[in-house]
Amino acid sequence: MRIHKIAAIPGDGIGMEVIPAGLEVLDACARIDGGFRLDVQNFDWGSAYYRRQGVMMPPDGLAALRNFDAIYFGAVGAPGIPDHVTLWGLRLAICQPFDQYANVRPARLLPGIQSPLRGVRPADLDWVIVRENTEGEYAGQGGRTHRGLPEEVATEVSIFTRAGVARIMRFAFRLAQSRPRKLLTVVTKSNAQRNGMVLWDEIAAEVAFEFPDVTWDKMLVDAMTVRMTLKPASLDTIVATNLHADILSDLAAALAGSLGIAPTANLNPERVFPSMFEPIHGSAFDITGKGVANPIGTFWSGQMMLEHLGEHAAAARLMRSIEQVMADRRFHAPDLGGAASTAKVTDAVCQALSNNAEVRPKET
């Protein structure tokens, strides 16, 4: 029996509703597979913890997470606490020290889900966005001085290192190479930003030589929003900086139907540190406690976690089950225009998993 140690951090808001739902589904995956088991430990870190303790997670928090095989994360952010405090206190406090430099965000129009784009079919929108996840605009460099004075100044410095750019480019080219179309779009803004973004472009061109079978092109980020909207089928794998990919992945999620179904993996590809899996959506306090949060983004993130853990058959069963459930509008949560509750979607996916017990990775 393979045992995978999972740290679950539901965090804030609907994170506390979707992570338990996700664990229920992952447990069903393990039971149906029969070859592995998840050993889950829950951590109550987040804004409630912050109100009690003054910190989002304890000082030895990273040490506590270090020996898990993966982290399953809900969301952070709460009314009354500045977003940069919650974010830097927990999510980025894990991503950066654990060197989770490759943030992978698939966006796919699932059968049964309507894109806001006219006439777009599932085959036309099947992307993976690779987000640089440790430096760039989120490097955390900068400062504020002369606070409150007319000459107050603040800097937010983007950091691009050769090592950081080269590793994310290699990761993206390799991912593009593994997909049928072998197509990569490198997003940039080197027309206006002539230092970091020019280094980014140069390294993309260098790394491209290592992947002669991958077709690649370059898009300015502003023009990229137009291409995603008007020519979605022309895109496959996409690599972008931390901030550019943050913005483009919200657009991608909206075009693929809803932010509520979009998954993320924060990967440390070398596996020196645990990787972290989370839905893209935030804590959504407006719907917290109503039992209507869409758990599909969390299930899909769980599917990426199973892949990362090497449980390919279970991952294939889960993806097929998600697709089957989404094909039936009765199981669409309010963000997709339906009325299904978190519990109803969860039960449906567990039921579909039982029906898909025979699915093997090759068949999907």
Q: Of the listed 69, 236, 246, 335, which one is catalytic?
A: 246
Among the residue ranges 5-13, 229-237, 240-248, 339-347, the one whose residues contact Mg ion (CB under 5 A): 240-248
Q: CB neighbours of 326 closer than 8 A, spacing ≥ 6? A: 110, 111, 112, 113, 261, 296, 332
Pick the catalytic residue: 44, 83, 222, 231? 222
Q: CA–CA separation, 338 vs 328, rounded Å? A: 10
Least distance to Mg ion, CB of residue 151, Å: 33
Smallest distance from ligand IPM to CB 282, Å: 5
33 binds Mg ion (CB under 5 A): no
Comparing CB distances to Mg ion, the nearer of 126 and 246 is 246
Q: How far is the CB of 56 from ligand IPM (least distance, A)?
A: 13
Task: Kindly state the smallest distance separating residue 296's Cβ from Mg ion, in Å.
Answer: 17
Q: Are 342 and 279 in contact (CB under 8 A)?
A: no
- Distance separating alpha carbons of residues 69 and 143, to the nearest angstrom: 35
Residue 169 interaction partner, one of Mg ion, ligand IPM, none, beta carbon < 5-8 Å per kind:
none
Whose Cβ is closer to ligand IPM: residue 132's or residue 311's?
A: 132
Query: What are the distances in angstroms from CA 57 to CA 62, 94, 100, 189, 339?
Result: 9, 10, 18, 36, 35
Cα–Cα distance for residue pair 178/49, rounded to 1 Å: 42
Report yes or no: 354 and 32 within 8 Å, Cβ to Cβ. yes
Residue 246, interface with Mg ion (CB under 5 A)?
yes
Is 138 one of the annotated active-site residues of the chain?
A: yes
Which of Mg ion, ligand IPM, none does residue 40 bind to, with CB < 5 to 8 Å depending on kind?
none
Q: Which is nearer to Mg ion, 132 or 246 (by Cβ)?
A: 246
Q: Which one, 283 or 341, has the nearer CB to ligand IPM?
A: 283
Q: Which does 22 bind (CB under 5 to 8 A by kind): ligand IPM, Mg ion, none?
A: none
Could you tell me if 314 and 33 are in contact, meaning their C-beta atoms sit under 8 angstroms apart?
A: yes
Alpha-helical segments (H) within 209-360: 221-230, 242-255, 296-308, 312-326, 342-355
Residue 150: C-alpha distances to residues 144, 145, 146, 153, 155 (Å): 13, 11, 8, 9, 15
60 as an active site residue: the answer is no
Choosing from 189, 236, 335, 344, which is the catalytic residue?
A: 189
Across the chain, which distance is largest between two alpha carbons, in Å? 68
Rounded to whole angstroms, the Cα distance separating 100 from 275 reads 6
Residue at token pair 């449906």: 348
Q: Which does 87 bind (CB under 5 to 8 A by kind): Mg ion, ligand IPM, none?
A: ligand IPM
Binding stretches for ligand IPM (CB under 6 A):
87, 246, 280, 282
282 binds, among Mg ion, ligand IPM, none (CB under 5 to 8 A by kind): ligand IPM
Smallest gap from Cβ 230 to ligand IPM, in A, equals 23
CB closer to Mg ion, 274 vs 279: 279
User: Does residue 137 bind Mg ion (CB under 5 A)?
Assistant: no
Taking the least distance from each CB to Mg ion, the nearer of 33 and 246 is: 246
Query: Is 81 or 87 the residue whose CB approaches ligand IPM more closely?
Result: 87
CA distances from 133 to 79, 104, 245 (A): 25, 9, 9
Residue 278 makes contact with Mg ion by CB under 5 A: no
- 201 annotated active-site: no
For residue 241, the minimal CB distance to ligand IPM (Å) is 12
Q: CA nearest 8: which of 57, 60, 65?
A: 65
Shortest reach from residue 246's CB to ligand IPM, in Å: 4
Other CB atoms closer than 10 Å to residue 358's CB: what's the count? Answer: 9
The catalytically annotated residue of 50, 126, 138, 236 is 138
Residues making contact with Mg ion (CB under 5 A): 246
Positions marked catalytic: 138, 189, 222, 246, 250
